[in-house]
Amino acid sequence: MVVKSTAVKVRHYKWDVEYMFWAPDCEERVVMGINGQFPGPTIRAEVGDTIHVDLTNKLSTEGVVIHWHGIRQLGTPWADGTASISQCPINPGETFTYRFVVDKAGTYFYHGHYGMQRSGGLYGTLIVEVPKGQHEPFHYDGEFNLLLSDWWHESIHEQEVGLSSKPLRWIGEPQTLLINGRGQYNCSLLPNFGNSSSTQCKFSGTEQCAPQILQVLPNKTYRVRLASTTALASLNIAIGNHKMIVVEADGNYVQPFTVDDLDIYSGESYSVLINTNQNPNKNYWISIGVRGRRPNTPPALTILNYKPTSASKLPTISPPITPAWNDYNHSKSFTKNIFALMGSHTPPATYDRRIALLNTQNRIDGFIKWAINNVSLVFPPTPYLGSIKFGLKSGFDQTNPPENFPSSYDIMSPPANPNTTTGSGVYRLRYNTTVDIILQNANALGANVSEIHPWHLHGHDFWVLGYGEGKFTKDDEAKFNLKNPPLRNTVVIFPYGWTALRFVADNPGAWAFHCHIEPHLHMGMGVVLASAVERVQGIPSNALTCGLTAKMFLKKKNIP
């Protein structure tokens, strides 16, 4: 949703990233916070504003970066905040300045993009509003931001070691779901629900885990901004007795449509409108539950409080029930009902290049990995942006990664011993060309198991041309929607299915494209795209103070 800015501002922030004790779900653990807050501070800006964040790493033993999810970083690819791709990790005690322009109104968020720091709580909300005096294509009287996440009691360092072990020690399902960093473990707001020894939990409201009460006035329209920064869980959200009108997806307006509940995958964001037209003498549950995986995590619950009804008055109506975790028809019905708002830009009618990416689970010497076209991504010590810009060919694998997978591959029954290889190659895209990507899902190592994978593209939005069942064939092109496909930055690929994307490689830089499930990326499920890196100017030297680029800058300064 690109709109013209009338008054440009520079919004300055000074942030310290540090570990701290916190009780997000009523049990104290160590979380990653910013300026003593969890989740991190919310940024609000207007289209055209410049965001200036001086980020100081107060972690004593590890680096850190921040990715600004959904911000395209036009002209500032080094500010994308992806370790080993756009920049070096910020070392303990060092400060790095992120400075970039927000060019599109919408609902976004930011999160750590080094190791599994997103799982550790390094995230927050970023809202870009239309400039004052301009209007969006819908009206609302007030708004709420709901940042959704999942939470483990096992530290991210334990999780990382487990994922790199033989045999694999899987992270398991999260202990808790969080809404704006708040959830309740081992107790429920509902009578006789969960494994609490008491019938219901009592909160004064000052606890770090106390549910945030959303207060509304009767007979008003509210915009609810939703963003999912979950590490694993696909979610479904519903508001008791209230329908939701979907109006935005990933910072792009969509044709409004009404739903009773909404699926949201990791990396996605939405805006929905609700009308507070229910009985004003009651309160209502907002419920968030797990989808796409057999859930072992209780729903997250909070209260929509009709003023002047007491916020402590629990709703008398049971909360909405999350659809069955494996009711994929329900999920597909919602996803396939998202279309671009009439008058939006349509995709080019044809493509210049097509890349098919097969998502598989494989082994390397007995270690379980995820792979794309039989290559499991490993990140080099020198960021791709620097290696490509300065012609450092030893910085990463110069072998072109596979553009496709064997036509004989049976996605329903993969090879019995599917060994794979590691790689750090790059898909190099000619500038301003139109690229199609076909995401193809398959059976994992376990029998009759094919998982949901939400894929996120950095530096670009893409048109979602369509979804299908089974293996993609040329005949499936007839199903493509070229009239009003939604423009997104994150998209889901369903079990045993395919998803087709189209985008224009018009943003010079090196960009990640990966599954947004944190452990899947950690296990190799991603690729790197690069286009017109030679056009990139003004890369800050402190973005590249590691690997081969560090040696290059030291040599220029004649430092031995």
Cβ neighbours of 559 (radius 10 Å): 8
Query: pLDDT at position 558, please?
Result: 47
Residues 6+ apart with CB under 8 A from 121: 22, 24, 31, 32, 33, 38, 39, 149, 151, 181
Longest dimension (CA), the chain: 74
308 prior amide bond cis, ω within 30: yes
| The token pair that represents 340 in the structure block | 């671009």
Helix (H, G, I), strand (E, B) or coil at 80: helix
Closest CA to 283 of 220, 321, 240, 219: 240
Closest CA to 458 of 404, 516, 402, 400: 516
- Say how far apart CA 251 and CA 105 lie, in whole Å: 6
CB-CB contact of 130 with 136 (8 Å): yes
What is the residue-level pLDDT of the chain in tens, covering all 560 positions?
554 545 579 999 999 999 999 999 999 999 999 999 999 999 999 999 999 999 999 999 999 999 999 999 999 999 999 999 999 999 999 999 999 999 999 999 999 999 999 999 999 999 999 998 899 999 999 999 999 999 999 999 999 999 999 999 999 999 999 999 999 887 766 554 444 344 456 777 788 998 899 999 999 999 999 999 999 999 999 999 999 999 999 999 999 999 999 999 999 999 999 999 999 999 999 999 999 998 889 899 999 999 998 888 888 888 898 899 999 999 999 999 999 998 888 999 999 999 999 999 999 999 999 999 999 999 999 999 999 999 999 999 999 999 999 999 999 988 776 788 999 999 999 999 999 999 999 999 888 999 999 999 999 999 999 999 999 999 999 999 999 999 999 999 999 999 999 999 999 999 999 999 999 999 999 999 999 999 999 999 999 999 999 877 666 654 44
Query: pLDDT at position 513, please?
Result: 98
Interior CA angle at 276 toward 24 and 252, to 5°? Answer: 70
CA atoms within 13 A on the CB side of 421: 8
- Fold for 144-335, please state it: Immunoglobulin-like (2.60.40)
Query: pLDDT at position 4, please?
Result: 52
Q: Which CATH architecture has domain 10-134?
A: Sandwich (2.60)
Q: For 265-280, what is the HEC assignment?
A: CCCCEEEEEEECCCCC
Query: pLDDT at position 417, please?
Result: 66
The dihedrals phi and psi of 394, each to the nearest 5 degrees, come to -85, 0
Beta bridge partners of 360: 371
Helix (H, G, I), strand (E, B) or coil at 485: coil
| The token pair that represents 497 in the structure block | 């299915």
Q: Which CATH architecture has domain 353-550?
A: Sandwich (2.60)
Give the DSSP per-residue string, 315-366: -SSPPPPPPPTT-HHHHHHHHTT--BPTTSPPPPSS-SEEEEEEEEEEEETT
Query: pLDDT at position 414, please?
Result: 82
CB-CB contact of 521 with 375 (8 Å): no
- Say how far apart CA 303 and CA 315 lie, in whole Å: 8
Place of tokens 């899987």: 170
- Say how far apart CA 496 and CA 474 lie, in whole Å: 17
Query: pLDDT at position 194, please?
Result: 45
All CATH 2.60.40.420 domain ranges of the chain, comma separated, are 10-134, 144-335, 353-550
CB-CB contact of 250 with 198 (8 Å): no
